[in-house]
Amino acid sequence: MLHADDLLAWIGELHRVYVQNKTYLTELDAAIGDADHGINMDRGFSAAAAGLMENTPTDIAGILKAVAMVLIRTVGGASGPLYGTFFLRAAGACAGKDTLAAADVAALFRAGLEGVVQRGRAAPGDKTMVDAMQPAIAAMQQAVDSGADIEEMLPAAAAAAESGMRHTVGLLARKGRASYLGERSIGHQDPGATSFGLLIQAAVDTWVNRRKA
Amino acid sequence: MAAHKYCTVPVNPITQEAQAQQKEGGRKMKKLINDAQDVVKESLAGFAAAHADLVRVHFDPDYVVRADAPVSGKVAVISGGGSGHEPLHAGFVGAGMLDAACPGQVFTSPTPDQMEAATKAVDGGAGVLHIVKNYTGDVMNFEMAAELCQAEGIDVASVVINDDVAVQDSLYTAGRRGVGTTVLAEKICGAAAEKGMDLKTIADLCRRVNANGRSMGMALTSCTVPAAGKPTFDIGDDEMEIGIGIHGEPGRERKPLASAREIIAGMARAVISDLPFKNGDTVIAMLNGMGGTPLIELYLAYNELAAICKAQGITIARRLVGNYITSLEMAGCSVTLLRADEQMLALWDAPVLTAGMRWGI
């Protein structure tokens, strides 16, 4: 079971992860985009963490919504509305819940994915963040269906996201600035898929690994 | 809630990392700046100080409005996008052109709260036109802003500019980028609004300008985003990138450097054959600098463009030569042609008073 405190710890971890990976994500973006993804994610989650420290909602949905609004306001680019919409829809899926079980976490991520697809109009295989999200959320559903708990479900989802993220290397971009490159986009890992891979790995580190430790 | 659980990070990570990168790469970013993360705000502050007679600059959220906004009963025209393309868009705010501009971070779309606040600040009751360049981020952020404004009863129309012939328009790309035609659309639609035309008419006019405008750009050198601290792409001393966008994103192909005559002929061919522009057409032409190419070369390039148009029976009725939609300090240029009818030409000639363009006043 996850509580509001766990969500806060996850956002704090995301802040740390995107500061740490700012240069890496920006370099991936420089290869096929406009060289700002790491800078934008760092700015967004630094602001989100600072915002939560200043004014901390007590419920899970409130925390997710606060993060969404900060990301929409501060990130810009494509990742601002996409991650903003992800957290906004995730908040909607958690409305009124004080705790989250595995099925609730899967529902949270599924709602986020649906929002991203609607906003960005990307399909699996377009070489976008959806290529990491979609397999991760499928893995979550599979885990939930087989009765797994959060500790089993999340590592499986993170592994699926990582594999989806690595798969983007061979894909031809059909959305976003990378699509302007056509064939030249092949051979590069998608920055958005990578930042989502980091997002779910951070959930594993916060909600699974750190509890075991 | 335990706020202390958050990790602490250096106060100024962007600058520290940028500096570290410069050391690692052995390349030093050489820019007239103070701190990489303050570039946009400090430049806007300078813009406000320099042009207080034309504009007012609002911070947090950041936007620029014409000094007399809102103009009651007039349709307001707004544009916005990442910074680094100056004078676009803030340099085109003023009488006869834009009512407001929303500058994002360098090469990064502005955010919906900026666009929403700017829309409210300039709404004179006759509706607001958003002119959006076709980039994934710009389109999504403006879309969210339009939804927010419409929810509050403001009449918002949006037109997306997608004129870059370097990108194949298909279901399999994000579509053509919005480049040079944006400048011409902002001038013509701004004049239409000043003349009192209604929102639907101006939006239709904007779509007509977009449908008849085509552009293509090229780069001789890369550019350095201040927060990134190093050039966006590597390019050899003997190479050029054809079909470049305005963010240092790679173009259609990398080629050996050629003469201005060959370069402009290649770009003009791509632009002319795309619409296609035909013998007998009247156009507004723009030979635009990317920011790092001097006027002596831009005029030399315009000379080539004028000769090509003349040879093909295309009449350049009006023209712009200079830096209007740039890519930081990138060297290179772009060619834009707009097939113009009498109405567009009359609106082009209408008075304009902005930092980046002024005539007839």
Residue B215 Cα, gap to closest chain A Cα (Å) = 15
Residue A104 Cα, gap to closest chain B Cα (Å) = 22
Of the candidates B17, B233, B249, the beta carbon closest to that of A22 is on B17
Residue B346 Cα, gap to closest chain A Cα (Å) = 35
In 3D space, the residue among A188, A84, A48 whose CA is nearest the CA of residue B109 turns out to be A84
Interface with B, mutate which of A15, A34, A37, A54 (most B CBs under 10 A): A34
Interface with B, mutate which of A36, A79, A174 (most B CBs under 10 A): A36
Identify the pLDDT of residue B7: 33
Q: How far apart are CA B211 and CA A109, in angstroms?
A: 40
Q: Where are the beta strands (DSSP E) in B196-302?
A: 213-219, 239-242, 253-256, 282-289
Of the candidates A13, A80, A119, the beta carbon closest to that of B111 is on A80
Radius of gyration of chain A (CA): 16
Average pLDDT rounded to a whole number, residues B82-95: 98
* List of long-range contacts for B292-295, beta carbons under 8 Å, 24+ apart: B292/B220, B292/B221, B292/B223, B292/B328, B292/B329, B292/B330, B292/B331, B292/B332, B293/B220, B293/B331, B293/B332, B293/B333, B295/B321, B295/B322
Average pLDDT rounded to a whole number, residues B193-220: 98
Q: For residue A42, which residues of chain B lie inside 8 Å, CB to CB?
A: 13-14
pLDDT tens profile B143-159: 989 988 988 899 999 99
Name the CATH architecture for the domain at B36-212.
3-Layer(aba) Sandwich (3.40)
Identify the pLDDT of residue B171: 58
pLDDT tens profile B255-298: 999 999 999 999 999 999 999 999 999 999 999 999 999 999 99
- Residue B25: which pLDDT band, with cuts at 50, 70 and 90? very low
Higher pLDDT, B75 or A36: B75
Rounded-to-10 torsion of CA A146, A147, A150, A152: -50
Assigned token pair, A48: 């989100």
List B214's β-bridge partners, or say none: B337
Identify the pLDDT of residue B172: 63
**Residue B245 in contact with residue A180, Cβ under 8 Å?**
yes
Catalytic residue among B51, B89, B130, B247: B247
Identify the pLDDT of residue A50: 97
| Nearest Cα residue in chain A from B168 | A180
B218, pLDDT greater than 70: yes
Q: What DSSP assignment string belongs to A76-92?
A: -TTHHHHHHHHHHHHHH
Residue A53 Cα, gap to closest chain B Cα (Å) = 5
Question: How many CA atoms, within 13 angstroms, populate the side-chain half-sphere of residue A48?
Answer: 34
Identify the pLDDT of residue B1: 33
Cβ contact B140–A34 (<8 Å): no
B342, pLDDT greater than 70: yes
Interface with A, mutate which of B106, B113, B249, B327 (most A CBs under 10 A): B249
Mean pLDDT across chain B, nearest whole number? 91
Q: How far apart are CA B7 and CA B148, in angstroms?
A: 34
- What are the extents of the domains in chain B? 36-212, 213-359
% of chain B with per-residue pLDDT over 70: 91
**Residue B18 in contact with residue B36, Cβ under 8 Å?**
yes
Average pLDDT rounded to a whole number, residues B171-190: 90
Domains of chain A in start order, with CATH, are: 4-212 (1.25.40.340)
B134-158 as b/e, with b when 16 or more CB fall inside 10 Å? Answer: bbbbbbbbbbbbbebbeeeebbbbb
Average pLDDT rounded to a whole number, residues B26-44: 90
Identify the pLDDT of residue A179: 86
Identify the pLDDT of residue B27: 58
Identical fold, B36-212 and B213-359 = no
- Residue B18: which pLDDT band, with cuts at 50, 70 and 90? very low
B130 is catalytic: no
Identify the pLDDT of residue B110: 94
CB count in 10 Å sphere of residue A204: 21
- What does pLDDT average to in each consecutive run of 10 residues of chain A (213 residues)? 97 98 95 90 97 96 95 89 94 96 98 95 95 98 97 98 97 88 91 98 96 74
Lowest-confidence segment of A107-116, B8-17, B341-350 by average pLDDT = B8-17
Please provide the CATH number assigned to the domain covering B213-359: 3.30.1180.20
Identify the pLDDT of residue B6: 35
Q: How far apart are CA B242 and CA B252, in angstroms?
A: 6
B26, pLDDT greater than 70: no
| Nearest Cα residue in chain B from A4 | B1
Assigned token pair, B200: 């639907």
Cβ contact A177–B105 (<8 Å): no
Identify the pLDDT of residue A180: 79
Cβ contact A72–B144 (<8 Å): yes
B247 is catalytic: yes
